[in-house]
Amino acid sequence: MEMTLRWFGPGYDTVTLSQIRQIPGVTGVITTLYDTAPGDVWSREKIRERKREVEEAGLRISGIESVNVHDAIKTGSEDRDRYIDNYIETLKNLGEEDIHMVCYNFMPVFDWTRTELARVRADGSTVLAYTQAAVDALDPEKMFASIEGDMNGSVMPGWEPERMAHVKELFELYRDVDDEALFANLKYFLERIMPVCDAYDINMAIHPDDPAWSVFGLPRIIINKENILRMMKMVDNPHNGVTFCSGSYGTNLENDLPDMIRSLKGRIHFAHVRNLKFHSPDNFEEAAHLSSDGSFDMYEIVKALYEIGFDGPIRPDHGRMIWGEKAMPGYGLYDRALGAAYINGLWEAIDKQHRKG
């Protein structure tokens, strides 16, 4: 594996590349062109410029999170081919610039969903949290407004104000899209992009839906072992792979995370490792990465990744806000740096144990 940190790029991230460079063991960043809209072609010039900046700081671009998929593709509307052509062009440009891993998602309307961005924990840290009761009580059009105040002035991934301004129309677009239609639209998209992925050796890594169930009655399909294996078989090409996000699949306590990891051997191209603390099955908050702070056995998760021979980029995921830091919720420096060091420690121990036999 390669330890990485997500970096949103100049102007969007409070964390600097030189800070990232000083986290022990972190050699790469996962980045994006935040100023492009879903459906735009990423130009080679812009990609090259980002690469230059990252490499000058002594790091490398280990992958992209995300190249977002336009709603026309997800809904299978008549103009989807035009947007898929653009997506292919972007993949080609990334491939030409030697970038070989792309994370994306196929979630309708809302990307990951949390009902609180700054729940205060006993130790005074603040974290992202979710309660189903809060979602059920909310008009989906007010979802963005309800969390906007806690964003610390940042633009959160998947919650871009321009998109959120059209939430009503977005819901309208998805009115006739059910789980089966979403699967079919995903298949169509993947079949069209696989040739360029084969040509440039680009690993596509779908991010799970978070939380791993339907919210506001919208279809959500990347939620459990059965569905993700269905997707892997549906387009049976090693470039059709997954981002294994423990915090997203883990929202559903019925998902056995180490077992899922083992069943996806060879298809996990990117790993997001984080812990959750459950108060009840539909009331949870994001904890520190350490096993004892949350509900997951992080050792077993990292061990499963190790044992399937996972060799892609891995990153600590959302961190708590600690030590007075003001940053995009989930994406401060301090707690993610602690997370990276912890995951590296687990990996080193598992590796040494394994070598000893």
Q: Which two tokens stand for residue 100?
A: 């070989």
Active-site position among 103, 174, 245, 293: 245
Residues 38, 39, 140, 158: which binds ligand DNO (CB under 6 A)? 158
Which range in 80-88, 105-113, 173-181, 254-262 contacts ligand DNO by CB under 6 A? 105-113
CB of 8 to ligand DNO, least distance (A): 10
Pick the piece of the chain touching ligand DNO (CB under 6 A) from 75-83, 98-106, 219-227, 289-297. 98-106
153 backbone φψ class: left, alpha, beta (φ>0; ψ -120 to 50): left
Whether 249 and 260 have beta carbons less than 8 Å apart is answered as yes
**Which residue intervals of the chain are DSSP H helices?**
17-21, 44-56, 71-75, 80-96, 132-136, 143-148, 161-164, 167-173, 179-200, 225-234, 246-249, 257-263, 298-307, 334-356
Pair of tokens at residue 206 = 């779908």
Q: Which is the catalytic residue, given 70, 100, 207, 269?
A: 207
**Paired strand residues for 283:** 131, 280
Choice between 140 and 330, CB closer to ligand DNO: 330
User: CA quadruple 92, 96, 100, 103: dihedral positive or negative?
Assistant: negative
Q: Which stretch binds ligand DNO (CB under 6 A): 78-86, 99-107, 134-142, 163-171?
A: 99-107
Residue 34 is a catalytic residue: no
- The number of residues that bind ligand DNO (CB under 6 A) is 12
Using CA atoms, how far apart are residues 269 and 313, in angstroms rounded to an integer? 7
Q: Binding residue for ligand DNO (CB under 6 A) from 111, 116, 285, 335?
A: 111
Contact flag: residue 103 with ligand DNO (CB under 6 A): yes
Residues annotated catalytic, as ranges: 207, 245, 272, 317-318, 331
Chain residues that interact with ligand DNO, rule: CB under 6 A: 65-66, 103-105, 111-112, 157-158, 207, 318, 330
